[in-house]
Amino acid sequence: MYAVVDVETTGGKYNEEGITEIAIFRFDGNTIVDQFISLINPERPIQPFVANLTGINENMLRNAPKFYEVAKRIVEITEDCTLVAHNASFDYRMLCTEFNRLGFNYERPSLCTVALSKQLIPEQASYKLGKLVRSLGIPLSDRHRAAGDARATVKLLKLLLDKDSSKTIVKKVLHTKAQNQVTRKFLNLVDQVKPVTGVYYLHNQNGDVIYIGKSTNMRKRVNQHFTGKSRKALKIQLETHSISTEETGSELIALLKEVDEIRLHKPKHNRIHKNDRIRFGLEEGVTSYGYRFLRISHAQDGIYYLTTFKNLNNARKTLYFFSQKHTLCLKLVGLESPKKECSNVEHNKCLGACLEKEAAVDYNQRVQQCIDHLSFPKPNLLVIDKGRTHDERSIILIQDNQYKGFAYVSLNYQITNIETIKTLITPLKDSRAARHLIQQFIRKNKIKEIIPIDAAS
């Protein structure tokens, strides 16, 4: 079904114009089945040259209905139709502008008979409506009035449909309708998602989880999946049937849950999580002279590391930064060859630990300060962060340097001892990835508070 439309306007600055007359013919491809024609009071002055062109003046419009009085009729007559106009971008823009002024989002698929004519009737001297229809033998009366121009456009459309042996127009209409149905489906899904921090799950028609993600604005991120053009995005769009979400309040908990849920569900469109690619760890030892040393090694399961890194470059940069900050020997942190004198000695950035010139006890204190920045401050602690509401906080439990899980507590709740906390905790699997995330957030001061706890209390 087509809604062939023509509007006359006041003229003036872009997007400040108003509609003075509208004609809409509902056309099934053969016959006009409904029509709406009306003058409209634009509630703004008409440009003199426009009045001369159309013959419509302000006196004629004084008692005409205002746009809001005919808006419902326009919506009804164009419902489930493809909007057709000669230079459709102008007529469609004017309708959208008027509806926007009313706070209504007006959307219809559209076709332009100028573009269709250039495609199906090439090499015409002019594609302006008056000259084009005269050259095609289509009668045109009341030129530059909405009803006359719209009737001529209906006849032009019928001619174009007859000439369209490859069904280009029909295919475009069907494709547009299909796209609109898909768009409406995704809009409905996106509307179900709150613009808050959490984890979201995309499900196929059988309810299986096909993708898991996290975001500080889940609605925005889900919308990006449905508007993306990459191969992966298109596959997700094709398969997604429903969405479920879990609000976390805390970005850190969202990340931890995302890692754990991907490991548990193994969704087909999730590649290995980036935080599972943690290949290096920082270990500690003591030299034969009693100096604590640090070294970067390839991470292995079952070994506790002071902290972890995704790649060697990041590990070396981080360790170099903290070595400079705490005046550590580059040899004893593994950044320079043990066979040569530390290059920082001559710049007084190393106090001589590599040459046994500095007391081991003094050097080891600074090593501990470095470790405190890189690792968990205490083996047993609570990481306090945002909750899901203003009167709630999230807590993450670290026990014996291992991640145990998280919980939500009221601001008024008195945290007493580790056994009480463990009854509240939702247990999650400890992993290098989880510890890496928590340490990163602590290091970057992206959490509210850290509370050491007594494991024996």
pLDDT of residue 457: 46
What is the rounded average pLDDT of the residues 368-379? 87
| Confidence check: pLDDT of 151 > 90 | yes
Fold identical between 2-173 and 192-276?
no
Distance of CA 204 to the CA centre of its chain: 20
Each residue of 405-440: pLDDT tens digit?
Answer: 999 888 777 666 677 788 888 888 888 888 889 998
pLDDT of residue 186: 78
Given pLDDT bands bounded at 50, 70 and 90, which one contains residue 184? low
Each residue of 27-85: pLDDT tens digit?
Answer: 988 899 999 999 999 999 999 999 998 899 989 999 999 999 999 999 999 998 989 99
Take residue 420 and report the two structure tokens written for it.
Answer: 């009480």
The domain spans of the chain are 2-173, 192-276, 280-374, 381-452
**Residue where the block lists tokens 């548990």:** 264
Instruction: Find out whether 383 and 450 touch, Cβ atoms under 8 Å.
Output: yes
| Confidence check: pLDDT of 180 > 80 | no
Given pLDDT bands bounded at 50, 70 and 90, which one contains residue 143? confident
Class of domain 2-173: alpha beta
| Cα–Cα nearest to 187, from 233, 149, 226 | 226
What is the rounded average pLDDT of the residues 362-377? 89
Cα gap 152→141, rounded to integer Å? 8
| Confidence check: pLDDT of 185 > 80 | no
pLDDT of residue 173: 62
| Confidence check: pLDDT of 275 > 60 | no
Lowest mean pLDDT among 7-11, 162-166, 236-240, 272-276: 272-276
| Confidence check: pLDDT of 289 > 80 | yes
Residue count of the chain, please give it. 457
- Residue of 456 and 88 predicted with greater confidence: 88
To the nearest whole percent, how much of the chain has pLDDT over 90?
Answer: 41
What mean pLDDT is reported for the chain?
87
pLDDT of residue 354: 82
What is the rounded average pLDDT of the residues 253-272? 89
Pick the CATH number of 192-276 from 3.40.1440.10, 3.20.20.20, 3.30.360.10, 3.40.1160.10: 3.40.1440.10
pTM here? 0.56
SS (H, E, C) 250-273: CHHHHHHHHHHHHHHHCCCCCCCC
| Confidence check: pLDDT of 451 > 60 | yes
What is the rounded average pLDDT of the residues 283-312? 88
pLDDT of residue 250: 94
